[in-house]
Structure 1
Amino acid sequence: MEGNSYYIFLDNHNQIVDQQNAKYTYSNMVRSIHSSLSTENTAINYLVELTACWTVFMILSGIYMLVRKKLLKSNNKVLKFQKWHAIVGLIIAIPMLILVFTGLPWSGFMGAKINQISTAYPQLGQTQLVANPPKSEANEIPWALRQKAAPQSEGGGHHGSMAM
């Protein structure tokens, strides 16, 4: 009634045992933090995304300058603080890039673009199992090492003789 989605847990007799608001599951909370800092505001969503993209630019330009100046190899005492800045920045850059790249597919603008590419070219994200699913022949069914026949349904209907 409130517009929330719930996960419903049923017992063996299809009776409701428990329910959980989908908004408060671990994956949905992480998605909310990644995409909009849990504010559910579209303007903030785009600001977070813009900040993430600029973060990637700043990290990549910092790594470029680190490599260009060859700071990690130099023993110059004048560049001592630049070297420490570069080392600390490199240590922070790796988890930061992982955080940004895992958050962008869930964001508003970039997430829509990534989804558009993935639906236009589905082979990019396919695993080998999806591309070549296993095939089974009737003689490959391992029912008790082929000593017995395959089990049959009782009652002739799809669900057999289930009591209603």
Structure 2
Amino acid sequence: MGDVIHETRIGAVSPVSGEYVESVLVWADRPYSTCDRCGQPVPTVESAPAIANPLGSAMAVSQQHGCGEWLSVFWTELPGDATVEQITQAKHDLLRRYRAAIEERTEEIRAALAADLTEMLELSPDERYCTGSEVEPGIYQESGGYLKAGPWVAWAYAPVGGDAITVYEEDLGKGPAR
């Protein structure tokens, strides 16, 4: 499952029966590395998102960020006697959800970049300005060689992993091919 899906056992002594009751907790890392509300970096790898309540079943722990945003984590609880196959299936299901969430966020970022770049390109050439650079996310103009301006580019970091999502002027059908 790679390094993004985790598993642990949680449990407690039942106050009713006096027996130890446990569950299997399976969770995925966060599919994003910044808070949606305030933009601050947040850890993608998190400890277990739940603990055992007095009856041995999972009870979610607070995932609230300092700004008030709830930092969601995909997780599921299985009975303590779950089979290896059931646990493996739960891990596969969470991995699918994790990947789908990353893809959805990536497309949202790409659409926002395209909208920003389109808005910038609708300005006259004298009114255009850079909001980023090759090393800072935003919009910038590539060099076209000695004393020549190149195409406009918008980029941002991917939801996780530090990769870049890039939209070029030509991707919008508004500029020369690179």
Q: Given the two structures, how large is their TM-score scaled by the length of structure 1? A: 0.27
Q: Which is richer in strand?
A: 2
Higher helix share: 1
Higher normalized contact order (CA 8 Å, seq sep 6+, divided by chain length):
2
**TM-score, normalisation: structure 2:** 0.25
